[in-house]
Chains A and B, each alone.
Chain A
Amino acid sequence: MPTLYLLIMGVALFGAGIGILFYRAAAQRGTAEPLAEWLADFSVASYEPMKRVLDESEFEFIARQPGYRPYIGKMLRRERKAVFKMYLRRALRDFNRMVSIAKLMIVYGEESKAGFARALWLEQMKFYFTIYALRSRLVLYPVMPGTWDVGGLVNTLTRLSQEVQQLAVPNPAAA
């Protein structure tokens, strides 16, 4: 019986932990710009440079240049790490804003969007997990460099952006 209680407590604590992490990630939205204007100006293309920020080939290229010193490489990596962190923060904010718009469309929609709502929830879980995984790896950078594949994040933003646009198109059968 005590094992059962411990198991229940463990499951409850794990669930609470996941809930807190989810809430913390979802709460980052930023309110500087009105959403309507932000949606009109949003472009996924602005995330293209993110794919190259921590690209090892760039550091290797710099290292081959005349006058290179190890401290230059360290400084560059530190700065690039800060830039990558900013990109992650921005990606999370933009994703959350997109999710907020999608939720508004779900709530105020005339037709049920249960399938989309379910997919949106799964996208959120995957996106936040990716963000947390990248942040955790970033803590150890550059001790553990490796490749930084952010294609998944950018693809998610692209897909969500397209889905939000599609939600605005009414059902052709109803037109």
Chain B
Amino acid sequence: MLALQLAGMLCLAFRLFHARLHRIYPAFAYLQVFGVVQWVFISTTYGTPYYVSVYVTTSALSTVIQVLIILELYSRILRGFSGIASIARTYTYIALTISILISLVLVRLEKTPVSFTAHFILYRRSLISTLVFFILLMLVLLIYYPIPLSRNVAVYFAGYTVYFLCTSTVLFARNIGIADLPVINNALLTIPVLCLFFWAIVLNPRGETTQITIGHRWNRDDEARLLQQLRAMNSTLSQTARK
């Protein structure tokens, strides 16, 4: 499974750099490179006294990069839509507040950590849970408003939703003691591998120009015609107003 994880990161990194998508999603691309470095460090220090320090340091850095990825995703989604910018900004503050509160409530359900590693896993779980709820609340915004996304952004978004949801659930299950450690470890290795190969297969340059709208089942031609008509109406009315 570790070898598959390395293969997945290398495939995805190759895909992103070869298709020049690293210029559009730099944090995502460099996370894969960092992932390979992390894999090398963890594999070589496994079983040594340095393993815990290496695991904690690299996981912390990886989680910080993942937060940057969410910010990168968010900016890509709302780029070019000044009409909805202030609404999205207010909604983001509310979504972030709710996400943090839910995450803190979940901390109360978890066992009190006794070791340094347990503390780290608790904080990491809290941060990832905050990201999960934030992503899910952003999904509500995307379903409510017809904000067009490039297919790549939608794929990126879907993959991270699954990744964060599964990872935080697995860590939460561990922290409340309802799952055995081997099950947790296997799940924590399998989920990223599946996500990596999903992204490596589905992300491509054509996905930047293909647009989709989540949750709005209109005919795209219908929407385009309506926009054209609204703009024509706008233009006619502005000409009338100037007379």
Contact = CB atoms under 8 A, between A and B. Distances in A.
Do A and B bind? yes
Interface of A: 5, 8, 31, 34-36, 39, 100-101, 103-114, 117, 168-170, 172, 175
A43 to B, nearest CB: 17
B233 A104 contact: no
B180 interface: no
Given A34-B225, A103-B146, A109 B83 contact: yes
Interface stretch (B2-10, B55-63, B212-220): B212-220
Nearest to A121: B144
B75 interface: no
Given A35-B226, A107-B147, A114-B90, A100 B83 contact: no
Contact of A108 (B87, B227, B233, B238): B227
B115 interface: no
Nearest to A111: B83
Contacts of B144: 103
What is the interface of chain B mostly: helix, strand, loop, or mixed? helix
A168 to B, nearest CB: 5
Interface string B203-243: 00000000000001111001101111110011001100110
B86 interface: yes
B40 interface: no
Contacts of A104: 146, 223, 226-227, 230
B181 interface: no
B24 to A, nearest CB: 22
Contacts of A101: 226, 230
